[in-house]
A and B are shown apart, each in its own frame.
Chain A
Amino acid sequence: MNTATAAGAAPVGAPASALLRVQDLVKVYPGGKRALDGVSFSVERPEVIAVIGSSGAGKSTLIRCINRLVEPSAGRVWLKETEIAGLPWRELRRVRRRIGMIFQEFNLVERLTVMENVLSGRLGSVGFMASLMRRFPPQDVSGAFALLDRVGLDGYHDTRADALSGGQRQRVGIARALMQRPDLLLVDEPTASLDPKTARQIMRLICALAQEHNTPALVNIHDVALAQSFASRVIGLKAGGVVFDGPPAALNAEALTEIYGAEDWSQTIRRVSDEDDE
């Protein structure tokens, strides 16, 4: 496993084979906070990429700038050969259908059933009236049942989302994202609201499904140990810039100090930790 791309130095004429390419992405929030300061990287093959960094390093902003839930201030993003930045609303919606997103707080519509939440991944392909009447094509319905079975929620389709546990909700969130048959998975702190055991199960599920669907996944995660055990590539963000990009094995004490600042890392590198401080 060698990941050749060096930090902050994406080639200008990226090969057409890139699944995702981010170039010089900048986000300045109103009020002057510079969340992203020229982030560049590219994803050449379907793999799980962990994005690590302290709170406020810009992890969340980065993945939200990719599907433009947050509008980037400058820079370019390509999903395969489609350039996302600057797309008009209608086309942006079309691109978003190809990007599945999984959230920290699960973001299910709590008062709807599990099935409605999963099927909402197909909203891009049905009209307004069909979504009002909850009429989805048969292949979508059977696909949703299959996905629910796959994420371990067989038989839960008529349960209301607010009746589920945290782990189960995240499983619904995963099914909803995969329902889109995405070309890219954006995963924002999938385990931060879960207990350590469930967190590992969820990470394992996300990685397995990303592999099954041959989809690259960009996973924001603050837990270094989890990142090391599940990702095949790690990107380290600090103050809105990429300071590390390489295989998890290269993530030594020096690299961690570069990302998070000085601290005794000897324990962290091996062990599961729940800390999320600066």
Chain B
Amino acid sequence: MNTAARRYPEIWQRRSLRETISAWLWTAALAAAAVWSITMLDIEWAFFSDAHLQAIDLAERMWPPRWSYLPVIIGPLIETIHIATIGTAIAYVFSVPLAFLAARNTTLNSFTWAIGRSLLVISRSVNTVIWGLLFVAIFGPGPVAGIASVAARSVGFLAKLVAESIEEADRGPVEAIESTGAGTGQVYLLGILPQVMPVLVGTTVYRWDINVRESSVLGFVGAGGIGLQLYASINQFAWQQVLVVLAAILLIVLLSEALSAYIRARIT
């Protein structure tokens, strides 16, 4: 070999100069944005000085939990789960047609596609609790508003993922069903729906457990569930009740998470 004859560079750099500059520029921009954010927030640092004392004080006032409050919140707890379940079920039903409308390969034309996409964006960009504000204004306080807001937020979540999976569906079976002379509806029903079914069911179950968590705070805006009791207890400074409510929420959220993970693991 002619190692001696050839000259090798003695300096090696992982990135080219341009890459290094752009990496530093990004980092600098992020740092500047962060500094700007913190300074603009007008933080009263004095508040922090006794924060730990206040936190300890709060913890002391929470203990011991007032377990006698538990029977009062059983009803609201069940209501919380009902809101999540019924809301998710409604979203499940509506998400399928919406997904077909919003998927590029199954929508009718670009106009219907645009409608489908805008419905997705509207549903998804408004948080469940903000939907709650709106539906409480419409239906008045209570679980109906909660169900409606869970459904309104979830339908976009489900439909977006299902629409993506429709767009990624294998063309082969679709072509085969088309070639038998089936109608468009039949092609969607037998060629595409079976392919997206696992995604639909899996995401629905996943969304259900997010919804249990979301329903636990819907009561803050009056949309039913355990949030009402939590909010009331906090406003009355009944910290021992607050601890009971928090423990109850912890329990149902963890249980629903475990159940959802179990079901998702079994879907093939």
A and B touch in the complex (CB under 8 A): yes
- A positions within 8 Å CB-CB of B: 67, 69, 93-101, 103, 105-112, 116, 120-124, 128, 131-132, 173, 176, 180, 186
A258 CB to nearest B CB, Å = 31
Interface size class of B (residues with CB under 8 A): 20 to 34
Per CB-CB distance, the 3 closest pairs between chain A and chain B, nearest first, are A97-B181, A96-B181, A123-B182
- Given known pairs A108-B173, A111-B195, the reply for A121 and B190 (CB within 8 Å) is no
CA–CA, A131 to B176, complex, Å?
16
Question: CB distance A107 to B176 under 8 Å?
Answer: yes
B205 CB to nearest A CB, Å = 17
User: A103-B176, A128-B189 given. 12 additional CB < 8 A pairs?
Assistant: A69-B175, A96-B179, A96-B181, A101-B180, A108-B173, A109-B190, A120-B176, A121-B180, A123-B177, A123-B180, A124-B180, A131-B190
Tell me whether chain B's interface is mostly helix, strand or loop, or mixed: helix
Number of cross-chain contacts by CB at 8 Å: 81
- Given known pairs A69-B179, A120-B182, A123-B180, the reply for A103 and B195 (CB within 8 Å) is no
Question: CB distance A131 to B180 under 8 Å?
Answer: no
Question: CB distance B182 to A108 under 8 Å?
Answer: no
- Specify which chain A residues have a CB less than 8 angstroms from the CB of B190 in the assembled complex: 109, 112, 116, 120, 123, 131
B129 CB to nearest A CB, Å = 37
- Specify which chain B residues have a CB less than 8 angstroms from the CB of A93 in the assembled complex: 181-183
CA–CA, A93 to B172, complex, Å?
18
Question: CB distance A128 to B180 under 8 Å?
Answer: no
Is B257 part of the contact surface with A, judged by Cβ < 8 Å? Answer: no
Question: CB distance A97 to B180 under 8 Å?
Answer: yes
- Given known pairs A103-B176, A132-B189, the reply for A111 and B181 (CB within 8 Å) is no
- Specify which chain A residues have a CB less than 8 angstroms from the CB of B195 in the assembled complex: 109-111
B100 CB to nearest A CB, Å = 14
- Contact partner, B178, options A96, A105, A116, A121, Cβ 8 Å: A96
CA–CA, A105 to B175, complex, Å?
11
A-B pairs with beta carbons under 8 Å apart, 18 shown:
A93-B181, A93-B183, A99-B179, A100-B180, A101-B176, A101-B180, A103-B172, A103-B176, A106-B172, A107-B173, A107-B175, A109-B191, A109-B195, A111-B194, A116-B190, A123-B182, A123-B186, A176-B180
- Specify which chain A residues have a CB less than 8 angstroms from the CB of B189 in the assembled complex: 128, 131-132
CA–CA, A87 to B210, complex, Å?
50
Is B185 part of the contact surface with A, judged by Cβ < 8 Å? Answer: yes
Is B90 part of the contact surface with A, judged by Cβ < 8 Å? Answer: no
Query: Can you name the residue of chain B whose Cβ is closest to the Cβ of A101?
Result: B179
- Specify which chain A residues have a CB less than 8 angstroms from the CB of B185 in the assembled complex: 128
Is B134 part of the contact surface with A, judged by Cβ < 8 Å? Answer: no
- Specify which chain B residues have a CB less than 8 angstroms from the CB of A123 in the assembled complex: 177, 180-183, 186, 190
CA–CA, A123 to B177, complex, Å?
8
Is B73 part of the contact surface with A, judged by Cβ < 8 Å? Answer: no
Is B197 part of the contact surface with A, judged by Cβ < 8 Å? Answer: yes
CA–CA, A103 to B177, complex, Å?
11
